[in-house]
Amino acid sequence: MRALPLDFREASRLEESNWSDWRWQARHAATNLQALDKALTLTDAERVGATRAMAAGLPISITPYYLALCDPANPDCPVRLQCIPRAEEAIAVEGDLRDPLGEEAHEVAPHLIQRYPDRVLLLATDRCGVYCRFCTRSRLVGDGGGARSMAVLEPAFAWIEAHPEIRDVIVSGGDPCIMSTDRLARLLRRIGAIDHVDYVRLATRAPVTLPQRITEELCSAIRESHEATWIMTHFNHPKELTDEARTACARLADAGLPVMNQTVLLRGVNDDANTLEALFRGLVRSRVRPYYLLQMDPVGGTGHLRTPLRRGVELMAALQGRVSGIALPKLIVDTPGGLGKVPVGPNYLVSEDRGVTVLETFRGDLVEYYDPPEL
């Protein structure tokens, strides 16, 4: 499926070079109620949500490409649910947190977060092509700072240099791929100059929301700046796997950049087994490894999009044995407060007694497994 330009942009009259230009896409992002009104038949709840977002909430920014994936007449469209504000964002529910992963408490240098012994998270920018309504960093994205300069990030680089136990740097934001190619390349080269860092993870939703950004120039710059770079992205629904998105993923893979996907489990978007199966199979066909199925973080104002934890467990049970292991991610809860990720899932271990373990297969069969004798 190819994302079709919206009539309200009269994009069918535009030269293809405009629609395919990521800078044009970024410049023409919908950022207010008026732009949404021209593209979609908004509900009252969406109007209230957009008005609130413009005044004080998580900002609105939706590239024309991603907005074109929204069903203009269906407010329950799985893409629309991810990017259009709703009145429910003003509703607080028990467990809501402003900073659900405790990042501010784990900041070890400006814009640098450490929650695990061997890795750090570098927040390189606060900008994204699309501000997802379930964003775990809604407290800071789009706050006006933009991309951090190398001078501003230097204390973070110095901290990493002083801590040889750090082997993995996750570059996130915001979306670092919204930065210029030159700025991103300089950042990656600076990390690459730190000998004990084995690899970099580049967290970006550009393949999903702005695939025009994934140019051959960008892929080459990333690979040349730090050859051990992994791309971490977020496809949440099969509708997002357009021809443009698949082309972007192919460019990354062809450049030697492995692509991993972290799907966020979202109510009404992908909380059924058929949708997830189609998504995971489509990702593998696109040379993208389904890595995590993430229980949504309890960020304030997102209760209407979160699922009960048991739903994720049920879905993993439904998918076990139904799709290949290469297409089956781990179900992960990133525990509130920043205490780390916990894998959860169905319990296939029925009992253990005197070296005999009873296991339940995905078909429901009970099988005995005998431990070897102790030496």
The yes-or-no answer on residue 341 being catalytic is yes
String of DSSP letters for 121-171: EEE--S--SS--TT-TTTTTTTSS--SPPHHHHHHHHHHHHT-TT--EEEE
What confidence tens digit (pLDDT) does each residue in 36-81 have? 999 999 999 999 999 999 988 789 999 999 999 999 999 999 999 9
Furthest CA-CA distance within the chain: 77
The yes-or-no answer on residue 127 being catalytic is no
State residue 119's pLDDT score: 98
Active-site residue among 9, 80, 86, 115? 115
Whether the predicted pLDDT of 3 surpasses 90 = no
The yes-or-no answer on residue 132 being catalytic is yes
The yes-or-no answer on residue 131 being catalytic is no
Angle at 247 between CA 243 and CA 252, to 5 degrees: 150
- Amino acid at position 282, single letter: G
Active-site residue among 70, 77, 135, 219? 135
Active-site residue among 131, 148, 297, 306? 297
Cα separation of 172 and 187, whole Å?
A: 12
What confidence tens digit (pLDDT) does each residue in 205-225 have? 999 999 999 999 999 999 999
Which of these, 146, 138, 144, 132, lies nearest to 58 by C-alpha position?
138
Structure tokens at 182: 């030159």
State residue 6's pLDDT score: 52
Active-site residue among 9, 133, 137, 201? 137
**H-helix segments, 255-340:** 273-285, 309-319
Distances (CA, A) of 24 to 63, 101, 153, 174: 9, 34, 28, 19
State residue 12's pLDDT score: 42
State residue 267's pLDDT score: 98
The yes-or-no answer on residue 186 being catalytic is no
The yes-or-no answer on residue 83 being catalytic is no
Active-site residue among 119, 133, 239, 306? 119
Angle at 185 between CA 182 and CA 189, to 5 degrees: 140
Structure tokens at 293: 């199925």
Q: Which domains does the chain have, with CATH numbers?
A: 7-90 (no CATH), 104-342 (3.20.20.70), 345-375 (no CATH)
Active-site residue among 47, 116, 168, 287? 116
Structure tokens at 77: 């469209």
Whether the predicted pLDDT of 13 surpasses 50 = no
What does pLDDT average to over the chain? 94
* Three-state DSSP class for residue 22: helix
Which of these, 56, 6, 64, lies nearest to 30 by C-alpha position?
64
State residue 7's pLDDT score: 53
